[in-house]
Amino acid sequence: MSQCRVCHSEYKPFINFGPQPIANGFIPEDKIGDEYFFEMQVGHCENCHMVQLIDQPSREQMFHGEYPFFSSLSKHMQIHFKEFAETIERRFLNHNPNPFVVEIGCNDGILLKNFAEKNIKHLGIEPSENVAKVAEEKGIRVTTRFFDYELADETRDKFGPADAILSANVICHIPYIESIFSGVEKLLAEKGVFAYEDPYLGDIIEKTSYDQIYDEHVFFFSALSVSYLANKFNLELIDVEPQATHGGSMRYYIARKGAYSPAQHVEQLIEKEKEMGLNKAETYLQFKKNVEKSKQDLVSLLEKIKKEGKRVVGYGATSKSTTVLNYCGIDRNLIEFISDTTPLKQGKLSPGKHIPIRSYDEFKENYPDYALLFAWNHRKEIMEKEEEFSKSYKWITYVPEVQIF
Ligand code: SAH
Ligand code: TMP
Ligand code: ZN
């Protein structure tokens, strides 16, 4: 039994993915042998309905000066974050002539750039020095530290209360969630908003997108669990907005209790989640069965293709792919290499299964028979870019089910 990080009730795992490496731990050839593995299991707390990893590696093992994920590499994400900034400005900053915006985990500045360009007072909090440096080069003010209660307190003393605290694909990474929420409560202005988005549990269950489960993602949020969490810190979930990013995300708007009246969407989403069974143990047992089927289907397809003597290359060395490769036991035998546009990943090996990561040029110059779409969350952007490949060759996806297209 483990203790829920939110409500401290006891809970048990419903699925075990076996030993998993650091999902973004791309390694050079000469470091094989020194890799860290942890037992990756997920559980559902029957009291507050938070779905969470049982164990997680330490934050310093995941976020450091060589963090290989740069948000701005995707053009669609740049547009998405510009719209996020505009929405916040329109809905929450108008009442203050000199508003202050804080972002938790600003990475290379993809979101804050939109505020910095308008000379809006801002602060990015980003512990991974290499990506933080890229943000600073864009004229963004960054503190290279981990956000927590202590930093929130210092930030309020130094800069004043925040009208908006924003975050994307970060809060679900942080196990010390009580320190985050009490920090937000400390830093937030009276009418301030805490708006954050993360991959949505409802989509993961619906699409069997188990690859969203990896070391960095300790929480899989829903309106059910987030409303419980907010309430515990004298905050309130005032609105929710589904997002198409990362294969299905949800944006949660949280404010001080009573500062705004909650939109009807919140209650509606909670009702829908209950209808989907996100509050029931059976739902998670069914998910486990779906995951096992997905594994069998993918492995048999790749083995069949190999027997036919055809080539398969992975497209996008995503952090998500680490779970798929290690859980399904897929290595170089079945996938020749993975093509990725991130220079820091190229020339290295995939975590755990050691498939070589090569540049995009190597894909373009010698098309394989099949491309296994690990970056399925960027499908639209990639299909636009790869019309030529798609004319003569095939794609493989595993979300929502294993399929050739
Ligand atoms: N917001 C960006 C980046 C997401 S990647 C986007 O959506 O594309 C997750 C980021 O969170 C990493 O850059 C990591 O360094 C940062 N991070 C992890 N723990 C953090 C913490 N406690 N406080 C602030 N940032 C954190
Ligand atoms: P993400 O799923 O975490 O956003 O990571 C996407 C990864 O896929 C990242 O390493 C960059 C890579 N990628 C490509 O190689 N080609 C592309 O066209 C896109 C959109 C991403
Ligand atoms: Zn709980």
Q: How far apart are CA 147 and CA 161, in angstroms?
A: 15
Going by their DSSP bridges, the two strands 100-104 and 51-53 should be labelled as unpaired
Dihedral through CA 209, CA 212, CA 213, CA 216, nearest 10?
180
Q: How far apart are CA 253 and CA 269, in angstroms?
A: 13
**Percentage of the chain lying above the pLDDT 70 cut:** 100
pLDDT, position 105: 98
Q: Which two tokens stand for residue 122?
A: 């801002």
Q: Which residues contact 145 (CB under 8 A, 6 or more apart)?
A: 125, 127, 151
pLDDT, position 33: 87
What would the mean pLDDT of 277-301 be, rounded to a whole number? 98
Strand ranges across the sheet with 219-220: 13-21, 37-44, 51-53, 219-220
Q: Which two tokens stand for residue 25?
A: 């731990």
Summary mean pLDDT of the chain: 97
The minimum-distance atom of ligand 2 relative to the CA of 345 is 10
Burial class of residue 158, CB neighbours in 10 A (0-12, 13-18, 19+): exposed
Q: How far apart are CA 400 and CA 248, in angstroms?
A: 12
pLDDT tens digits, 318-372: 999 999 999 999 999 999 999 999 999 999 999 999 999 999 999 999 999 999 9
pLDDT tens digits, 166-220: 999 999 999 999 999 999 999 999 999 999 999 999 999 999 999 999 999 999 9
Q: How far is the CA of 267 from the centre of ligand 2 (A)?
A: 35
pLDDT, position 250: 98
Going by their DSSP bridges, the two strands 370-373 and 312-315 should be labelled as parallel
Residue list, ligand 1 pocket, CB within 6 Å: 59, 63, 67, 69, 71, 104-105, 107, 110, 125-128, 131, 146-147, 168-170, 173-174
pLDDT, position 154: 98
Q: How far apart are CA 358 and CA 356, in angstroms?
A: 6
Sign for the CA dihedral angle at 123, 106, 263, 224 comes to negative
- Cβ atoms 343, 368 nearer than 8 A: no
pLDDT, position 1: 86
Nearest to 27 by CA among 315, 342, 346: 346
Q: Is the pLDDT of residue 34 over 90?
A: no
DSSP classification of residue 228: H
Q: How far is the CA of 145 from the centre of ligand 1 (A)?
A: 10
pLDDT, position 387: 97
Chain Cα centroid distance, residue 151: 23
**How crowded is the C-beta side of 91, counted as CA atoms within 13 Å?**
17
Q: Which residues contact 157 (CB under 8 A, 6 or more apart)?
A: none
pLDDT, position 384: 96
Task: Give, in degrees to the nearest 5, the angle at Cα 130 between 126 and 132.
Answer: 30
Q: How far apart are CA 343 and CA 171, in angstroms?
A: 26
**In this structure, how many other beta carbons lie within 10 angstroms of the beta carbon of residue 298?**
21
pLDDT tens digits, 371-380: 999 999 999 9
Q: Is the pLDDT of residue 315 over 90?
A: yes
Q: How far is the CA of 221 from the centre of ligand 3 (A)?
A: 12
Q: How far apart are CA 382 and CA 2, in angstroms?
A: 40
Q: How far is the CA of 218 from the centre of ligand 1 (A)?
A: 13
pLDDT, position 145: 97
Q: Collapsing DSSP states into helix, strand and coil, what is residue 14?
A: strand
**Percentage of the chain lying above the pLDDT 90 cut:** 98
Q: How far apart are CA 218 and CA 315, in angstroms?
A: 25
pLDDT tens digits, 219-253: 999 999 999 999 999 999 999 999 999 999 999 99
Q: How far apart are CA 77 and CA 70, in angstroms?
A: 11
- Ligand at shortest distance from the CA of 52: 3
- Cβ atoms 149, 168 nearer than 8 A: no
pLDDT tens digits, 5-28: 999 999 999 999 999 999 999 999
What would the mean pLDDT of 50-75 be, rounded to a whole number? 93
Q: What is the pTM of this model?
A: 0.96
**How crowded is the C-beta side of 310, counted as CA atoms within 13 Å?**
17
Nearest to 227 by CA among 49, 43, 54: 49
Q: Is the pLDDT of residue 260 over 90?
A: yes
- Ligand at shortest distance from the CA of 217: 1
What would the mean pLDDT of 258-270 be, rounded to a whole number? 98
pLDDT, position 222: 98
Q: How far apart are CA 306 and CA 313, in angstroms?
A: 12
